[in-house]
Chains A and B, each alone.
Chain A
Amino acid sequence: MNDGIRARIIMLRVLALSLLVTLGARLWVLQILDNDRYRRVAETNRVREVVTSSPRGMILDDQGEALVRNRSSLVISVNRSTTDRQADRGRAAFAQLSSVIGMPVDEIEKKIRFCSATVAQPCWNGSPYQPVPVAQDVAPAQALAIIEHPERFPGITADLQAVREYPFGSLAAHELGYLAPVSQEELDRQAAARKDGESGPDKFHLNSLVGVAGLESVYDEQLRGVDGVEGLEVDRFGRVSGTASDTPPVPGNHLVLHLDRGVQAAAEQALQGVLDKLPGGPHARTASAVVLDAKNGGVIALASLPSYDPSVFTGGISQEDYKALSDPANGIPLLSRAYQGTGAAASTFKVVSTAVAMTWLGAKPKQNFDCAPTLQIGGQTFHNFDGSSAGPITLHQALVISCDVIFDKFAYDEWLRDGGLRNGRGPYAEPAEHFVKMAEAMGFGSRTGIDLPGEAPGAVVGREKARAIWEELKESYCRRAANGYPEEKDPVKAKRYQQYASEACVDGYLYNAGAAAQFSIGQGQYLSVSPLQLAVAYASIANGGTVLQPQLAKAVVAPDGTVVKRFEPVVKGKLPVPGDVLGYIREALHGVTSEPGGTASGVFADWPKDIIPIAGKTGTAEVEGREDTSWFASFGPVSDPRYVVVVTIPDSGTGATYAAPAAKQIYQAIFGVGRPAEMPGGLPPGDLPQVGSDGQIDVLPSAALGPAAVGPAQSAPTSPDAAGAAPPDGRLARPAVLTARPGVPAGGASAAGTLSGGPRAPPAGLAG
């Protein structure tokens, strides 16, 4: 054999060796360098997750009544990993099922097919290992037929599942919120976080329901709990060969609110009563009411009409329903006017101006100011509300009878001192802007921070801001000035708008004297407030100067009853107002309901003023093209203010005519005047409701809820309207009209002249 062959065999040797080395290198890359990545792939290949939803926590009112709870629904599900393995792919079982629940086999098969780009609803978009629900709320007999004959229904199960339930329908719908299936974006975000190395159990799974509105969304984390996940080991054909892991579901915590179901219901009924009586009826009309705990910022009621029943969102809302809920022609029921709507606060805002005058402008308690019928500012004439003149009066009286001109004058003088029209031009001293500063100190112009999404911030516009806004809008003003308003049908209006635009185009940066004066009486372009903001401001006056953040949530309680978290009051600020000034304002507001000539004295004529003195302020905001917005902002009892009640009814009339009576009805419900009390002893419950270890909630025992009611006989008869508005479904089985309770002396009206007495104190019951 010659050496040529030997040489070429050596080359073959090298070739063979290099082939093997190539393979070895590739093997190294895959097994050693890429091992982690592929190990995860192999893991997901092998383990399929079956998710058991955790029972979501309830939302309870201050006394333990469930506002949102879970209802058991008998659900029939088809487990495709079982039915697909049968020779007929489950058809026989489906036929059996069809005869039990009366659903055609065809429909069952549609419901369990997997969704895809080409397969639209009905279909299943969850995991193939997850049982597919085909019928909900079936009769127990139907469920039993399936449970008792598993051999006839292979792969078909009937079990109880939790469905969100709202026992009080539309009550507090805006606050409670609703659930919706988790969005793909949320799932993607979770997957991205997982990639970034975040550990722990997955928050969401395909088909998970999450809170997307109201408290359900804000406290989703607390309410949701942790879904149970069973990791099933499967082979390539999806056959289950064992369990790799099993994490049982952790039920969500309950959320206890400051909100009181009874007061909320009373507030909604009072508003509805007003809307029903308005000319033209409630159609597309709105109304809102806020009840705050002045001591801690707790939200006891937050009502807005029109409302809706959140159960329309259960199982997915239809396009049609959603459209109806967002239609302005229906008053946009999805929107809460109490914290998402803003407008002019009108005379209720005069408390701010009074505080400014007495704190910073040197006004004295006994000092008289001229409540002239008119005031000339620039080219404009400002009138008192009804053009009346009261002559020289104190600020106390100015609040009681709601004189405008005195406050206009204060604001106008302030405007002059601050440089008048010369907004930021030239070497002038820094403008004091006392009115703007006081408004901001009381919380106007910024969000209150309530634990609800989508709160409206309102607006408080000072000189600098006015200029900034103008800079932003200048172009559109000038365009409008040139082009007019062709879309406006009324030529007169169009002309006026254009006139306004051309003025604004030129000198819109100037701080308008008229608007600055109107600011002091809660009107004009520089001010816009939400009812909730007004309630926070009144709470700060009532409680001696503390601006509190309104809070719905009081505590988070675990299913076993342990308190996970208490929400302490959050202080946002202190009013820059001396205590005696606040006392003066409180006294004046008391006069509004109690003194002759007080704007709300007529409404509260039959009120047991001596026992439960109420302080309040009416407001009537003029809105172009509509009826006035009626306001009433108030608190009580004056001696030790606990509750702040603010009612707003747009497109109605004066504050005294519409809002004040509604507010009175709310006080009646709180204190039990002419009806059972919703707040036992006139006080919010001091303790959290007890949650048993079995998840059962004890509604506070009725004995502890001793009604602190004032019978109608004590004072002037309650107006028929108010009595008629008393809810027939009083909480528990409390007597509609109070009788003397043992131990309470008859005719004890004078003895029980006050409602104070601390939490859980014996109720100050009264009887004729």
Chain B
Amino acid sequence: MLGMQLNDLVGGLPDGLAEALELVDGFDDALSHGFGRVGEQRAAAIAALAGAVAATPLGDRVAEAAAKVPAGSVSGEHLTALAAARSALLGAAHDALLTRLDESLGRTRSPSGPPATGDSSVPGNLLVGCRSWLYELAITGWRGVGHDLAAAGDQAIEAVLAEPGARRLAVLLDGLAAELRDSSPVSTMERLPLRRWADLWTRATLLAEPGWPGSGEGAETVSGRLLPLGADVHEHGTAVQVQVHAVLEPAGGGTSRLVRVSVAAGKVDTITGPAVWGLFQAYPVLLATLAKHLAAEIDGMPLLPGGDLVWQEEKATAAELTDPFATARVLLAGAVAGETPPLDRHPARVAEPVLVEGYKAAKAGGGVTLTLDGATLPFATGRLPGCGPLTPELLAASTACVGLLRWDAGGWLLQPLAVQATVKKKPVAAHNGDWALGTTDPKAAKALAKTGDPVGVLRERAGRLLRK
């Protein structure tokens, strides 16, 4: 990413974005007070939201829902319609942001074709249980959530966790429930994470509707050489996902593709830091590409329309040594990206790999910011995974970064996947996935040795106690 491109990206917000987010704020505020008793002002905010989608296929349904709001007589169906309206607005915000990013970078996307259809066949009664908790939350509002309501979804969540086809909904609800439990009674909180909780509620409410396509719909089969750029790690108390961004050089030539490989596991809160890699031991090839900086040859793996490569360990072999920085320098600019599936579009989902180099970084106001050709870009220091070697100090000493462009709370951020820095006058490189096969840092290794092997201990306990 050149200075000129960065200047262009951060130079201003897309037209209409601020207005769209203002409408979202109105909904989020109403959700915090609950749809059971909406004042005049909040009802007007919901009417404005309905107005924004009036010309879309959602228009009639959302208008009908908004009309029920002042009387406090919204049904579940109405709440789902309002969630869809909020999601459509944020989807449009996503598109505007990504278009600007693509124009700045000169990135091209392969159109994903018609949306996938089909049915993931999650049993309807499981979804009903989840929806009824979500509706109760919305009627009550965050400010009215106490221990009982926070825990009221537990049975539904437990049931949906056991259903492989509903994993997305399950990990989302589980994460939300944990936050509500920890925050209860919410009325005592000084400030609420309004946007965040409304995001989580909205996505869960839509995911709990029947008729979502199964996860493999619309896939093509691809082969070729996979060159990793870096690992993005997502984690909450009971789930962890590693997402490897990579360039795929198709076998037999053709344009390189920008792809993501995901692997996710259930966990518990005490499995954290470098110990999380222990959950992915069944994927030695994938872990080796990260820890040893290797390419992988893949043969006949499904690639979803959004650019997600569905990893199958037996169809991959580790190949030669590669340098993610070299991959980014040589291949990133020409690689074609996937198009995010329509229902997944949201600014929080923007995570575009870029290489930024030749910048000056410095600590600023509790964070770290880089400056390049007069443009500044903050690092997403809230996204430095505990399972890797990157620290704010290292970022401040860095001069090159392979990272993901993110957008949050009104601005762009760079989430580092790997950095090159100068430490004690010596050049060093550090990647999020460096410890995938065990920590290479003596200090982290010592800390890990002190806590023993949490995964092993809990598996032993589970083996002895769970199957009685």
Partners in one complex: no
B-binding residues in A (CB < 8 A): none
